[in-house]
């Protein structure tokens, strides 16, 4: 399966104060993958739109691979 991911850093958001800074998110790598995914999603609230420091990050996935598959792949590599 081929897919492409697109990471776009945007300069503005409708309300940046409502976005979660993932620098403050903790992932317990000793837990099973599904629990790590659930914990991250609960902390960040929107895994497609968040901030890293002062940068607003919007992630978009295209292709045949689902968001869940791409997200699990990212968690496995960390």
Mean pLDDT, all residues of the chain: 78
pLDDT tops 60 at residue 63: yes
User: How far is residue 64's CA from residue 61's CA, in Å, rounded to a whole number?
Assistant: 9
* pLDDT score, position 76: 77
Name the residue range of residue 44's domain: 3-77
Give this prediction's pTM. Answer: 0.59
Number of separate domains in the chain: 1
40 neighbors 47 (Cβ within 8 angstroms): yes
Q: For the residues 48-62, what does the mean pLDDT come to? A: 83
Q: For the residues 15-36, what does the mean pLDDT come to? A: 90
pLDDT tops 80 at residue 41: yes
* pLDDT score, position 14: 56
User: How far is residue 78's CA from residue 74's CA, in Å, rounded to a whole number?
Assistant: 7
Strands (E), 1-78: 3-10, 49-52, 55-63
Helix then strand count (H, E) for the chain reads 2, 3
């Amino acid at each position: 399966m081929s897919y492409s991911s697109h990471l776009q850093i945007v300069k503005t958001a409708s309300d940046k104060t409502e976005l979660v800074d993932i620098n403050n998110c903790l992932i317990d790598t000793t837990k099973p993958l599904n629990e790590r995914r659930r914990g991250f999603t609960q902390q960040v609230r929107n895994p497609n739109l968040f901030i890293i420091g002062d940068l607003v990050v919007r992630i978009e996935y295209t292709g045949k691979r689902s968001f869940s598959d791409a997200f699990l792949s990212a968690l496995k590599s960390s």
